[in-house]
Amino acid sequence: MNQIEDLVERIVDEDPDKVLVQIPEGLRKKATTIQKRLDDKGVESMVSLDPCYGACDIKDTEAEELGCDLLVHVGHTRFSKKERIKTLYFPWHYEREVVPLLEDSLDRLKEFDNIGLISTANFLPLLHEASGFLEEEGFNVFMDEGERTSEGQVLGCDVSAALAVEDSVDCYLYLGSGLFHPLGLLSETDVPVFRLDFEENELEKLDFDRFERQRIVAVEKAKDAETFGILLTTKKGQSKPELASELKERIVECGKKAYMFVMDEVTPGKLAGIDVDCLVNTACPRIAVEHRTDFGATILNPAELEEALSGSNL
């Protein structure tokens, strides 16, 4: 059964009257097919086209307001707080030829005996295929569950599954594309991290140097800041109003000014015209790491703010 048929069957099993389907951007081409199949089954559906980066961003409130009795969240696994309506999580699995890519990469891995294998929800079935192949080639492969994730699965903000095997491995091998997920691990370990890149079809050793340099510059600049803009998101799994209040208190305690700004998606465009010396991000932590230079102002995550305030130049 292909994944669309499987998805439709899982939805029909829930016997909903009206469904809101959330899909990641990469699956937009499937949006009309999914709706057509649901129409054929007599299920009214609509597809949300808002950006959707993770299960931290479920549209249960919107679904409820639209009169839906089921939210379907495609592409990620559940770790959210309690949903307002019944929610079905359907982690979409992309198919890739992992063994031929690994065969081409063996030379660069042979200096390591013990490999920690990690990936995202979209490629989890490939972990076992990769693990079987690497073990046949003589490597020891390590995978474990994370605090909110299954075996070998990492999120951009939760690499606990990788850190659980850190003491046993000589390197990590991340299966997937982009930097969004391995960046979290790179910032927390000294163990080498390789990416088997499914876009470029090659193995690459990743490094955090560029991001670490940007981080150091941002913290140094923030030491001279007098006004801070604390950024909050309304995304359910990223919203941290209590943390934002604590940060404001801490900034004011240091004799500086703090303002709070709320938005759904934290983007540079939303901040246009906001006149503060430094932004403090309480939403997805990757925003201030991966997009540090896109905001046109210094932007810090909460731990970096503390670093700046403790060493303030004012």
Those residues whose C-beta lies under 8 Å from the C-beta of residue 184, and which sit 6 or more positions away, are 154, 155, 156, 157, 158, 159, 285, 286
Q: Which is nearer to ligand SF4, 61 or 140 (CB)?
A: 61
| Nearest distance in Å: CB 177, ligand SF4 | 15
| Nearest distance in Å: CB 169, ligand SF4 | 22
- Whole-angstrom Cα distance, residue 125 to residue 110? 24
| Residues in 285-314 that interact with ligand SF4 by CB under 6 A | 286
Which pair of tokens denotes residue 206? 């990743």
Give the interface size with ligand SF4 as a residue count (CB under 6 A): 9
- Whole-angstrom Cα distance, residue 52 to residue 23? 7
Interaction of residue 238 with ligand SF4, rule CB under 6 A: yes
Q: Which is nearer to ligand SF4, 52 or 203 (CB)?
A: 52
| Nearest distance in Å: CB 1, ligand SF4 | 28
Q: Which is nearer to ligand SF4, 114 or 267 (CB)?
A: 267
Q: What is the CA radius of gyration of the chain?
A: 22
| Residues in 104-163 that interact with ligand SF4 by CB under 6 A | 155-157
Strand partners for 70:
19
Q: Which is nearer to ligand SF4, 105 or 267 (CB)?
A: 267
| Nearest distance in Å: CB 237, ligand SF4 | 6
- Whole-angstrom Cα distance, residue 195 to residue 167? 20
Question: Which residue's entry shows tokens 């991966």?
Answer: 290
Contact (Cβ atoms closer than 8 angstroms) between residue 120 and residue 88: no
Which single residue brings its beta carbon nearest to ligand SF4? Answer: 156
| Nearest distance in Å: CB 174, ligand SF4 | 14
Task: Give how far Cα 135 sits from Cα of 116, 168, 254, Å.
Answer: 12, 15, 55
Strands 114-119 and 171-175, sheet pairing: parallel
Residue from the set 56, 88, 126, 300 that interacts with ligand SF4 by CB under 6 A: 56
| Residues in 269-288 that interact with ligand SF4 by CB under 6 A | 284, 286
- The residue ranges that bind ligand SF4 (CB under 6 A) are 53-54, 56, 155-157, 238, 284, 286
